[in-house]
């Protein structure tokens, strides 16, 4: 009973203390808000209403009246950069860095923002120099990521490898996939200049970084072929199946050409048929279709495409079936069949795209690095319609 009495008496006291604390906070907030320029709230309101142009004008007026407002300079520079006015953003951040009284923390921040300005403007040499000055600061991870982006844009693959390794060692996440792809880019350059042995040495490093890198295995086969060793090339290309069965479609034509060069077309066709049975693919079907047509004739090619269409019904498959039907059709029905074929082909071509799983960018050809978002290995080796049917 005594506890309840004290509890009842204490409640008004606690309420009063809370009210006093709230009043103090409100007075402090009002005092701080009165010290802010009116233009600050105007600019903030424009930002909230997604009117960046008017917000910039409001913030410019504040900066003119009070050049000491460092945070507003940062906000203004970022707004300029987002709007694409990189020259004005650069001037804002350069002016900040030129101030002798600027604290060290703000200097580092201004230098980082300036590097972002240079990067957005495409001034890659200046951006590289600026970010290199930040690798030993609190912006180390961001600077290393920016340097990695710069080296990729400039196709400086050796430096990109070094940057990715440094970023990985700093604890900013694994970069093995990207490092393997950079080695593949170096190997591709060696093959362009007909240096297969140098390419093979680089590709060993690619697989050491990422054992599942299909591109490295594919290029090993290309290097062996350049040296004239078709058997070794076939052995390398067949290893793709162990890494990723769907990616076999990317080496199907190489395999068939290799077996054809050795006079073993039937062996090649049988191998590709087994791959097709394991992983349906319109690109793989195209190669198998041509091989069966060459070896066994139109009727066998017809059966192959019909069976595949029943297993995976797609417009792309129907387009290929009409191709097969047209070859063996009587002359009197060919005009009508050709008309249907052309109509289906037109629609099928719109679906015959590879699509980046990261940004959705669509392309007619397969890319190891997406042209839209620059991410690596984000293209599935199947066309968009096939993926939709499978899902």
Q: How confident is the model at residue 387 (pLDDT cuts 50, 70, 90)?
A: low
Does 367 lie in the same domain as 292? Answer: no
Choose the final residue of a domain: 116, 142, 172.
Answer: 172
Name the least confident of 102-106, 272-276, 370-374.
102-106
Residue 337 near residue 322, CB atoms below 8 Å = yes
Q: What would the pLDDT profile of 14-60 be if each residue is shown by its tens digit?
A: 454 454 444 444 344 334 444 445 544 444 454 445 555 555 555 44
CATH of the domain at 224: 1.25.40.10
In a domain, 390, yes or no: yes
Query: Per-residue pLDDT for 64 more than 70?
Result: no
46 lies in a domain? no
Q: Is residue 80 part of a domain?
A: yes
Q: How far apart are CA 149 and CA 376, in angstroms?
A: 12
The whole-number pLDDT of residue 75 equals: 75
Section 335-356 average pLDDT: 78
Q: Which residue has the higher pLDDT, 273 or 328?
A: 273
Residue 381: φ, ψ to 5°: -80, 15
Q: Which two tokens stand for residue 256?
A: 């068939």
Evaluate whether residue 278 is within a structural domain.
Answer: yes
Same domain as 341, residue 328: yes
Q: Over 90: is that where the pLDDT of 351 sits? A: no
Residue range of the domain that includes 11: 2-32
Do 167 and 96 lie in one domain? The reply is yes
- For 188-206, the pLDDT digits (tens) are 999 999 999 999 999 999 9
Is 23 found in the same domain as 115? no
Residue 309 lies in a domain: yes
Residue that is last in its domain, among 196, 214, 243 = 243
Question: How many distinct structural domains can be found in the chain?
Answer: 5
Give yes or no: residues 163 and 75 share one domain. yes
Give the mean pLDDT of 227-251: 95
Residue linked to tokens 């068939």:
256
Q: Please choose, from the candidates 228, 261, 254, 260, the residue with its C-alpha nearest in 3D space to the C-alpha of residue 240.
A: 254
Same domain, 235 and 270: no
Instruction: Write down the pLDDT at residue 20.
Output: 42
Calculate the average pLDDT of the chain: 81
Tell whether 374 and 322 lie within a shared domain. Answer: no
Does residue 57 fall inside a structural domain? no
Same domain, 273 and 201: no
101 and 194 in a common domain: no
- By the 8 A CB rule, do 18 and 40 touch? no
pLDDT > 80? residue 148: yes
Read off the pLDDT of each residue in 107-136 and give the average, rounded to a whole number.
92
Q: How high is the pLDDT of residue 152?
A: 95
- Cα–Cα distances (Å) from 17 to 6, 29, 31, 360, 371, in that order, read 17, 18, 21, 57, 62
The pLDDT score that the predictor gives to residue 57 is 54
User: What's residue 389's pLDDT?
Assistant: 58
Are both 82 and 19 inside the same structural domain? no
225 near 258, Cβ under 8 Å? yes
Q: Based on the domain organization, do 219 and 284 belong to the same domain?
A: no
> Is 50 exceeded by the pLDDT of residue 143?
yes
Of 376, 369, 356, 378, the residue nearest 178 (C-alpha): 376
The two tokens of residue 94 are: 């350069």
Is the pLDDT confidence value at 326 over 90? no
Residue 372 has pLDDT above 50, yes or no: yes
pTM: 0.77
Do 162 and 84 lie in a common domain?
yes
- Residue 39 resides in a domain: no
Is 45 a member of any domain? Answer: no
Percent of the chain whose pLDDT exceeds 70: 80
pLDDT of residue 204: 97
Q: What is the pLDDT of residue 33?
A: 40
Residue 352 is predicted with a pLDDT of: 78
What CA–CA distance (Å, rounded) separates 181 from 192? 16
Most confident of 135-149, 170-184, 211-225, 344-358: 211-225
Taking only Cα atoms into account, the Rg of the chain, rounded to an integer number of angstroms, comes to: 32
């Amino acid at each position: 009973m005594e506890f309840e009495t004290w509890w009842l008496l204490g409640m008004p006291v606690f309420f009063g203390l809370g009210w006093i604390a709230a009043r103090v906070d409100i007075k402090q907030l009002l005092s701080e808000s009165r010290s802010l320029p009116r233009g600050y709230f105007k600019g903030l309101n424009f930002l909230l209403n997604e009117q960046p142009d008017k917000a910039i004008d409001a913030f410019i007026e504040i900066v003119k009246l009070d050049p000491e407002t460092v945070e507003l300079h940062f906000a203004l520079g970022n707004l300029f950069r987002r709007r694409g006015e990189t020259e004005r953003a650069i001037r804002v951040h350069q002016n900040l860095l030129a101030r002798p009284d600027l604290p060290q923390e703000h200097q580092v921040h201004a230098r980082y923002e300036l590097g972002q300005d240079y990067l957005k403007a495409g001034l890659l040499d200046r951006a590289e120099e600026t970010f290199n000055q930040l690798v030993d600061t609190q912006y180390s991870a961001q600077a290393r990521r920016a340097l990695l982006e710069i080296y990729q844009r400039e196709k400086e693959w050796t430096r990109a490898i070094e940057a990715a390794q440094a970023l990985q060692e700093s604890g900013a996440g694994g970069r093995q996939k990207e490092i393997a792809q950079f080695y593949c880019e170096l190997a591709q350059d060696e093959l362009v200049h007909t240096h297969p042995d140098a390419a093979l040495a680089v590709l060993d490093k690619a697989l050491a970084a990422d054992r599942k890198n299909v591109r490295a295995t594919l290029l090993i086969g290309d290097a062996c072929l350049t040296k004239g060793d078709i058997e070794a090339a076939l052995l390398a290309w067949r290893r793709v199946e162990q890494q990723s069965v769907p990616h076999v479609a990317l080496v199907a034509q190489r395999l068939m050409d290799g077996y054809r060069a050795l006079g073993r077309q039937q062996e090649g066709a049988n191998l590709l048929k087994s791959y097709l049975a394991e992983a349906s693919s319109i690109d793989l079907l195209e190669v198998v279709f041509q091989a069966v047509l060459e070896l066994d004739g139109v009727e066998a090619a017809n059966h192959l495409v019909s069976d595949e269409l029943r297993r995976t019904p797609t417009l792309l498959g129907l387009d290929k079936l009409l191709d097969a039907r047209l070859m063996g059709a009587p002359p009197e029905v060919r005009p009508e069949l050709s008309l249907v074929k052309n109509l289906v082909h037109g629609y099928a071509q719109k679906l015959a795209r590879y699509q980046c799983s990261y940004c959705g960018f669509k392309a007619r050809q397969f890319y190891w690095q997406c042209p839209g978002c620059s991410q690596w290995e984000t293209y599935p080796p199947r066309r968009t319609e096939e993926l939709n049917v499978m899902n």
